[in-house]
């Protein structure tokens, strides 16, 4: 929203004055759910599906966050979503045995809404 002042100010040399403004972006997207299928210390895999029908989401990026046992211990990696709705990847784990949980955040894509899953404990 933006507007023009009804009375121009002398400092504007008689021109209309733009009075502030707000920008609003609205994106529509189909509901999605991201799930982790395997949560290892150096590898993660999962899938992104549409809600409620379960069709695979064919594009986008997943941000994977691995958290340690102590507050503030974490690292992140990104993984591409494949055409079949799956994502997977290996990574170097700087936390070693202190790594405790992993979570996935689907960042969305054109016509697909972002989603995230609950933290999952590491299995190996």
Q: Is the dihedral of CA 80, 77, 110, 52 positive or negative?
A: positive
Residue 123: closest CA among 65, 43, 28 = 43
Looking at the predicted structure, is the pLDDT value of residue 58 above 60? yes
Predicted pLDDT of residue 123: 87
CA neighbours closer than 13 Å in the CB half-sphere of residue 2: 9
The residues that bridge with 45 in the sheet, in sequence order, are 38, 88
User: What are the structure tokens assigned to 73, written together?
Assistant: 């211990």
Map tokens 């404990």 to a residue: 121
63-81 average pLDDT score = 94
CA distance 53 to 110: 18
89-108 average pLDDT score = 93
- Hey, what domains does the chain have and what are their CATH numbers? 28-121 (2.60.40.1940)
State what percent of residues in the chain have pLDDT above 70: 78
Exposed e or buried b per residue across 86-116, where buried means at least 16 C-beta atoms within 10 angstroms of its C-beta: bbeeebebebeeebbbbbbbbebbeebbbbb
Looking at the predicted structure, is the pLDDT value of residue 5 above 60? no
Give 7 or 67, the one with higher predicted confidence: 67
CA 108 to chain centre: 6
Q: Indicate the pLDDT class of residue 29, thresholds 50, 70 and 90.
A: confident
Q: Indicate the pLDDT class of residue 124, thresholds 50, 70 and 90.
A: confident
Residue 58: closest CA among 19, 2, 109, 18 = 109
pTM recorded for the entire structure: 0.76
CA distance 101 to 109: 26
């Amino acid at each position: 929203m933006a507007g023009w002042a009804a009375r121009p100010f002398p400092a504007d040399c008689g021109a209309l004055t733009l009075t502030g403004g707000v920008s609003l972006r609205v994106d529509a997207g189909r509901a999605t759910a991201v799930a982790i299928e395997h949560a290892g210390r150096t590898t993660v895999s999962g899938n992104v599906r549409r809600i409620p029908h379960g069709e695979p989401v064919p594009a986008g990026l997943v941000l994977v966050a691995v958290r340690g046992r102590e507050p503030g211990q974490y690292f992140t990696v990104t993984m591409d979503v494949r055409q079949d709705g799956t994502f997977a990847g290996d990574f170097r784990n700087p936390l070693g045995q202190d790594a405790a949980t992993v979570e996935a955040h689907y960042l969305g894509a054109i016509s697909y809404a972002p989603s995230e899953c609950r933290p999952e404990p590491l299995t190996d």
